[in-house]
Structure 1
Amino acid sequence: MIDFWLAAGLMLLVALAVLLVPVLRGRRAQAEEDRTALNVALYQERLSELQGQQQAGVLTSAQLESGRAEAARELLADTEGTQSVRHSRLGRVIPLVAAVLVPLLGLGLYLHWGASDKVELAREFRQAPGSIEDMTTRLEQTVKAQPDSAEAWHFLGRTYMAQQRAADAVPAFERAASLSDRQPEVLGQWAQALYFASERKWSPQVQALTDEALKADAEEVTSLGLLGIGAFEEQRYNDAIGYWERLIAVLPADDPSRAAIQGGVERARGKLGEAGQVERPATAAVASGATLKVRVELDASLKDKVQPGDSVFVFARASNGPPMPLAVKRMTVADLPAEVELSDADAMMPQLKLSAFPQVQLVARISRSGKATDGEWIGRSQPLASSTRDLQQLSIDSPDK
C-alpha cells in the first residue's frame, strides 16, 4: 500500500499548490504595490522641490518644465514591469485555512467511503496462493469487501467443502443461492453441505433443495449424486442405482468421476444380492405404467449443420403440468435414426411419472453443450395420450428458440 499512499500524497501536494500559489502571488503583488507607492511619493516630493526653487528665482520656467519631465521619466522607469494589483475579497486567512482543512477532509472522506481494502485485495490476488488455506483467507476477504458477489460466496463454499468444513460451507452456499436467484447448481451444493454438516442425516430441507434443483435442471449432477448417496445410506439400493445411472448418463465420457459412480452402482447391486432383493430392470415399467415408443430422425436439411458427437435428448413432458421432463433418454447425432422407449422407469423424479399425466408431448433436442435444457435444433410432437402404444415419428427439423 506504500505506493498507493505516495500517489495520494502527491495529489494532496498538487491540491495544496492550487490553494497556496495565489496567496504567495498576493504577497509579491503587495510588495510591488508598496514599491510603486514609494516611487510616487518621491516623485511628488521632487516636484515640490522644483516648484520651490522656481518661486525663489533659482530656476526659470523652462528649467522647471525640464525638471518635471526628468522626474516623470524616472518614475516611469522605476514602475516599469509592475502588474496591476487585484484585491481579493477572501483575503489571506481563508486560503490558508482551506489548505489545512482540504487534506484532512479528503483523508476523512476516503477512510469512510474509500476502498483501500479492495485495493489491497487486488494486490494480493496478483500473486498465486501458496495453499488452499491462503485461498480461503483471500475469499473470506473478498466476501467482506464484496458482500453482494454470488460468485465469491459460491467459491468460498466450495473451498470450505474441499477442506471438509461443511458447517462453514452451508451459510456460504445459502448466501450464494440468494444472490444468484437460486441457481440449480448452487442449490445442489447447498443441499450437499447441509447433508454432510448434519453427519449424513437426510432432512426435509435437503430433500426440498434437491427437488427444487432438479425441477429447474433435471441434469443437476450434485443433486443426483446426493440423492443416490441418501438412498444408499437408507438401503434403498434400487433408488440409488437409478439416481447414479442417471448421473452417469449426463456426465461427459471423459469425466474422471464416472468410474467412482459406476463403482457405487456395483456396490448397490451387491447389496441387493446380499439382501436377496431383485434389481428393478431399467427398461421395464410397472405393468400398469406408461411406455411410449418413438422413432427419432434428423431432417435432411440439418445434416450439414450438426456434428456426429452432438448430444441428442429424447424426452416426454406433460402437456399441462411441470415443464421438466418426465422421462428422458440420451444419445448422439451419430445414432440417428433410432427407436427409443420412454417409460415410468425412466422418470426423472419418482413423484413425476409418465403414467401420472394423461397427455404428454414428445421432444427431441440436439445440444452441442450436452445440456438437455439448452440446444440448437429441436423436434416436437403434437400432444398425445401417455397410454399410446403405437410407434411415434419425431423429426428434428427446427431451430431451438
Structure 2
Amino acid sequence: MIDFWLAAGLLLLVALSFLLIPVLRSRRAQLEEDRTALNVALYQERVAELQTQQEEGVLDAAQMDAGRAEAARELLADTEGVAAPRVSRLGKPAPLMAAVLVPVLALGLYLHFGASDKVELTREFSQPPQSMDEMTRRLERAVAAQPDSAEALYFLGRTYMTQDRPADAAKIFERTVNLAGRQPELLGQWAQAQYFADGKQWSEKIQALTDEALKADPKEVTSLGLLGIAAFEGQRYQEAIDYWNRLMEQLPPDDQSRVALQGGITRATEKLVASGGKVAEAPAAKPAARLKVHVDLAAELKGKVQPGDSVFIFARATSGPPAPLAAKRLTVADLPATVELGDADAMMPQLKLSNFPEVQLVARISRAGQPTAGEWVGRSQPLASSTTAPQTLTIDSPDK
C-alpha cells in the first residue's frame, strides 16, 4: 500500500508542476519588467540632463543629437532579449488556489470512488494466510468490497462450512444463487448448509432445492450425498445406499472421499440386513465409452502450419454443455496420430462420454495454445458415444 501512495504522490507532483511553473515564470517576467522600467527612467533622466545643458549653452544641437543617440543605444542594449510581458486573465491567485485544491479534490474523489480497499485486498491475497481464521477474515473483507462477486461469496460459504458455521454458509449460498443463477452445484451447497443449520432436520425447502438441482443435473454430487445422509438418518437405508452408489460413480478413482463414502454404504448395508431387509441389486453400470480417432492434416494445409502448433482433439456432446467431455493435446509434429478418448479423459467427473448418447469429434490447431479458438479445424458428423469402430478426422477448414 505504501508503494501505491508513493506512486500517487509522484503523479500529484507532476500535476502540480503544470500549475506552479507558470507562476514561477511570471515572477521572473516581473523582475525583467522592473529592470526595463528602471532603464527607461535612466534614459529619460539622461535626455533631460542633455536638454538642460543645451539650454545653458554648454551643448550645441549636434552634440545634443549625439548624446541623445548614445543614450538610446544604451537603453536598447540594456533591454535587448527581454520578452514582452504576457497578461493572464486569471492572475496569480488562480493557479495558487488550484495547486491547493487539486490534491485535496483528488484525494476526496479517490476516497469516495476509488478502490483502496481492493488494492489492499490484492496485496493481502498475494501472501498465504497463516490460519483459517485469517483466510475467513480476508474473504469477508473481499465480500464487503465486492458484494456482487459470486466467486467471493461462494468461497466464503465453503469456508463457513469448514468452520462448522452452516447458518452463515446458508445465507451466503442464498446470496450466491441470487447473483449467479440457480446452478445445480450452488443449489446443492445451499441445501446442504441449510440442512445442517436446521439441526439435520429435513424440510420442504431442502427437498425443493435438491429436487431442482438433480432435475438440472442428475449427477450433482452435493445433492446426492445430502440425500443419502438424510435417508440414512431417517433409517431409509436402501435409499441411502442408492444415492451413495450414484455418487460413487461420479467420483474419480483416486478421490479420497471414496473411502468414507464406501464406509457409509457398508454401514447402511449392515443396518438394512440387521433390520431384516435385503439389499437390492444395483443396476448394471454402463460400459465406459471409448472412441478411437485417427487425426491427420489436409495436404493443402501442411505448408501453412508450424511443427510446434498445438493440436487439441476432443469430443463434445451434440446436445448438452459446450465444455469438452474428453480431450487430448498434441502438436502438429505428432500428426498423423491415433488417440483414444474415453471416460478416463473426462474434463470433469460429471461430464463423461458415457453420460451422453451422441457426441461430435473436433480437432483444432491453435498457434496460441488456446483450445477454444485457433486457425484450422476438423469436425466429424454426430456419432453415438458407444461407437467402437475407429474414426478418421481430417483438419481441413479455417476455424471460424
- Normalised-by-shorter TM-score class: 0.7 to 0.9
The structural deviation recorded for 1:233 is 0.8
Residue 378 of structure 1 and its aligned partner are, at CA, apart by: 6.4
Give the whole-Å Cα distance in 2 for the aligned partners of 1:74 and 1:31: 19
Q: 2:21 maps to which residue?
A: 21
In structure 2, what is the Cα distance between the partners aligned to 1:213 and 1:99?
A: 60
Asked if 1 retains the 8 angstrom alpha-carbon contact of 2:121 and 2:138, the reply is yes
CA distance in 1: counterparts of 2:259 and 2:164, whole angstroms: 22
Counterparts of 2:210 and 2:238 in 1: how far apart (Å)? 19
Count of aligned residue pairs for this structure pair: 328
In structure 2, the partner of 1:36 is 36
What is the CA–CA distance in structure 2 between the aligned matches of 1:294 and 1:110, rounded to whole Å?
A: 60
Corresponding position of 1:182: 182
**Consecutive unaligned residues in structure 1, runs of 5 or more:** 285-292, 318-322, 325-331, 333-364, 382-392
Amino acid at match of 1:80: E
Indicate conservation of the 8 Å contact 1:311/1:370, yes or no: no
Identity between Structure 1 and Structure 2 (%): 60
* TM alignment of 1:2-401, pairs within 5 A: 2-283=2-283, 302-304=292-294, 368-371=346-349, 373=351, 379-380=357-358, 396=387
CA apart distance, 1:86? 0.1
The one-letter amino acid paired with 2:347 is: S
Report deviation, 1:109: 1.1
Question: How many angstroms apart in 1 are the aligned matches of 2:30 and 2:104?
Answer: 30
Q: Aligned partners of 1:27, 1:152: CA distance in 2, in Å?
A: 56
1:178 Cα deviation after fit: 1.9
C-alpha deviation, 1:312, in angstroms: 12
Write out per-residue CA displacement over residues 343-394 of structure 1, whole angstroms, 9 at most, x where no aligned residue: xxxxxxxxxxxxxxxxxxxxxx96732555565996559xxxxxxxxxxx98
CA RMSD after TM alignment: 3.4
Helix, strand or coil: the match of 1:168? helix
AA at the equivalent of 2:261? I
Structure 2: stretches of 5+ with no match in the other structure: 296-313, 327-341, 360-383, 393-400
Aligned equivalent of 1:288? none
Structure 1 segments (4+ residues) deviating >4 Å? 293-299, 310-313, 370-381
Question: What is the CA–CA distance in structure 1 between the aligned matches of 2:241 and 2:352, rounded to whole Å?
Answer: 26
| 8 Å CA contact retained: 1:369, 1:375 | no
Aligned-partner Cα distance in 1 for 2:57–2:354: 119
What is the identity, as a one-letter code, of the residue corresponding to 1:170? A
CA contact (8 A) 1:368 1:376 kept: no
Letter paired with 1:180? A
Amino acid at match of 1:11: L
| Corresponding residue number in structure 1 for 2:307 | none
Q: Distance in 2 between matches of 1:203 and 1:90?
A: 74
d(CA) in 2 for partners of 1:296, 1:312: 16
In structure 2, C-alpha distance between the alignment counterparts of 1:43 and 1:175, rounded to whole Å: 86
8 Å Cα contact 2:169/2:193 also seen in 1: yes
Cα distance per residue 1:283-334 (max 9 Å; x no partner): 39xxxxxxxx9999977xx4447xxxx9999xxx9xxxxx99xxxxxxx9xx
Preserved CA contact (<8 Å) 1:219 1:371: no
Describe the shift of the 1:211–1:4 C-alpha distance in structure 2 as closer, same or farther (beyond 3 A).
same
Q: Secondary structure at the match of 2:207?
A: helix
Residue 282 of structure 1 deviates from its aligned partner by 2.0
The 1:49/1:303 distance shift into structure 2, 3 A limit, reads closer
- Distance in 2 between residues matched to 1:116 and 1:298, nearest whole Å: 53
Equivalent residue letter for 1:195: Y
- In the alignment, the residues of structure 2 paired with residue 296 and residue 143 of structure 1 have an alpha-carbon distance, to the nearest angstrom, of 42
The residue identity in structure 2 corresponding to 1:369 is M
Post-superposition shift, 1:85? 0.6
Note the C-alpha offset of 1:22. Answer: 1.4
Give yes or no for contact 2:184–2:212 (8 Å, CA) kept in 1. yes
Deviations 1:243-289 (A, max 9, x none): 000111111111111111111111111111111112222239xxxxx
- What is the CA–CA distance in structure 1 between the aligned matches of 2:259 and 2:288, rounded to whole Å? 30
Distance in 2 between the 1:191 and 1:117 partners?
A: 32
CA pair 238-312 structure 1, distance change in 2 beyond 3 A: farther
CA contact (8 A) 1:294 1:394 kept: no
CA distance in 2 between partners of 1:295 and 1:120 (Å): 52
1:295–1:394 contact (8 Å) kept in structure 2: no
Residues in 1 aligned to 2:223 and 2:45: alpha-carbon distance in whole angstroms: 105
Q: Distance in 2 between matches of 1:158 and 1:143?
A: 13
Contact 2:188 2:223 (8 Å CA) reproduced: yes
